[in-house]
Chain A
Amino acid sequence: MILEARDIRKLYGAYVALDGVSLSIREGEFVSIIGPNGAGKSTLINVLTGVLQPSAGSVRFKGKDIGGIGTVALTRLGMARSFQLVQVFAELTVLETLQAAVISRLGRGARLFASLAGDRQVQAEALEIASLFGLSDKAHALARELPQGDKKLLDVASAFALRPEIILLDEPTSGVSTADKHAIMEILVGAAKRIGLRAIIQVEHDMDIVFGYSDRIIALHQGKVLADATPAQIQADARVVDMVVGRRRH
């Protein structure tokens, strides 16, 4: 078990965002979290990534309690995330963005007088990730000048450059054209295999993506786990289809 959440409750005042959510992520799994708006998906991601302290319950990553430990500490433990809204460094190039992630992973950020350009390991690793994500030819382009699809790729690629053991992707294809969605997912899955990622968790609304790539689906509804099953089992569950998926899939 890589990641395990037990009886998570998260309250915002009187509002119950998560109510007794339990889940576990195993080695090699691609797990999708689905649910309608307000189901608690983003809150769950923020709790799982240590941004939010749960009101009750515990989250354990590699056996260690990570409730509210913060993003930086969690990154060092081997967990990375990407965001629903694209997050890039507008004035940095693609290569610089990936270098920043590699520097962070290698713990070289406090090197005041070292030459960034002369660090061959950082250069090589950043270029390798750029290549995995098909961004090599745009390595020197500013992030703000990239098309939306490439920005999304860069956002995810920079998380991969941390070489995490597990990655949480908050709607990795949101804001991307339908034609680009599958291309992004193929790149993402290929890169995951290449860097030896142990598990992927994604929050996603696009059911084609969810059913096309997931090993397991966790459906949330009003802060509770409605179902935790394989895609085939989810499809067969009329209640989940009606409440979360929205239509029967064939």
Chain B
Amino acid sequence: MRTPVVLSLVGIAFLGLPLLAPAYYVTLMLPFMAYGVVLLGLNLLFGYTGLVSFGHALFIGIGAYTGAVLTTHLGVRHMELILPAAALAAAVVAAPVGALCVRYVKIYFGMLTLAFGMVFYTFLLKFYKLTGGDEGMRMLRPDLLGSEWTTFSKTAYLIGPYYYFSLAVLVVATLLMWRIVRSPFGLCLKTIRDNPLKAESLGVSVPRYRWYAFMISAVYAAVGGALLATPTGNVDPTLAYWTHSGNIVFMVLLGGFSSFFGPLLGAFVFIFLQDTVMSVFPYWRLIFGAVLAFIVIFAPGGLMGLFARRRRPVEVSRA
């Protein structure tokens, strides 16, 4: 009963935020919502299937560059077209990459995904004429719901229509993922996470289901990447760089990968913590490194794990 109440309050807060909060903090919510979509997908792979990808920035990059190419070079400005195009582009790349990667597990899977991410990063960096090299490419302001919103300044557009559009995408992505993890498919992924040998003995084709999860997570990452590109108005190779992949894994760990909403909380805390720490201390990665070490050692369940422990002080027998 507590979860629906909390979600309702969070929903009301999100809807009212642009009306109440300073524009600066509203714009900070945009990357949160974009990363929220990315992390929902990443956690299907990480928390539900047991595969840690260190190369998912590859798909964020694909989503962001798809948006940039469509708006800048192809004249496609409708966000309702850009998001499916980003998803499709990611699926096309993820199909062969995933088919290869899911044959391996643990560090080998992580290193393979990292390698593919770096291949794409290098492609973006070196194929200047196609990608704009290290300068990247402009992402023009996309149309939303058929309107160009020309009467809105950039800030008004971002904290108004774009904010609510991003929120709607996040809500839809969350509802779909909620359904997926509670479906027969979601249960099969959990069996693979817990015990692949046993899962196989029950007739669950482990490589096939891992590939499905990889594909879905790539699509989510690309949609999030496309959302991420608009506020900055520019895309560049750092979107696909391995440190970016590291950041999103960090967000999942921060929030807690064993909880459905943990990664969303992780993205929220990461964005606002980064903003706060960067404003007072230039070496923000130093602080984040310490936070990561603390989480791994003292709170492996992440922030959601801490809340859960606090809420359930006495272990109740489930029998």
Chain A interface residues (CB < 8 Å from chain B):
71-72, 75-76, 80-83, 87-93, 96-97, 99-101, 103-105, 108-117, 119, 122, 137-138, 140-142, 145, 155, 158-159, 162
Contact = CB atoms under 8 A, between A and B. Distances in A.
Interface stretch (B17-25, B63-71, B83-91, B195-203): B195-203
Contacts of A104: 188, 202-204
B75 interface: no
B220 to A, nearest CB: 13
A112 B183 contact: yes
Contacts of A137: 319
Interface string B204-216: 1100010010000
Interface of B is mostly: helix
Interface in B168-224: 176, 179-180, 182-188, 190-191, 193-195, 197-205, 209, 212
B318 interface: yes
A14 to B, nearest CB: 28
A112 B183 CA distance: 6
18 contacts: A71-B200, A72-B205, A88-B194, A88-B195, A88-B198, A91-B193, A92-B187, A92-B194, A100-B191, A100-B204, A101-B202, A103-B187, A105-B203, A109-B185, A115-B183, A116-B183, A117-B182, A162-B202
Contacts of A109: 184-185, 188, 204, 209
B4 to A, nearest CB: 16
Nearest to B186: A116
A-B interface, 10 closest residue pairs, ranked by CB to CB distance from nearest: A75-B203, A104-B203, A89-B194, A87-B198, A103-B184, A109-B188, A141-B318, A71-B200, A141-B319, A111-B184
B106 to A, nearest CB: 17
Given A89-B195, A122-B184, 15 more contacts: A71-B201, A75-B202, A75-B203, A82-B201, A87-B197, A92-B194, A96-B187, A96-B190, A109-B184, A110-B184, A110-B212, A111-B183, A116-B187, A137-B319, A162-B203
A87 B180 contact: no
A142 B180 CA distance: 21
Interface centre among B176, B194, B203 (most CB of A within 10 A): B203
A114 B176 CA distance: 11
A99 B201 contact: no
A96 B176 CA distance: 21
B190 A91 contact: yes
A75 B176 CA distance: 31
Nearest to A109: B188
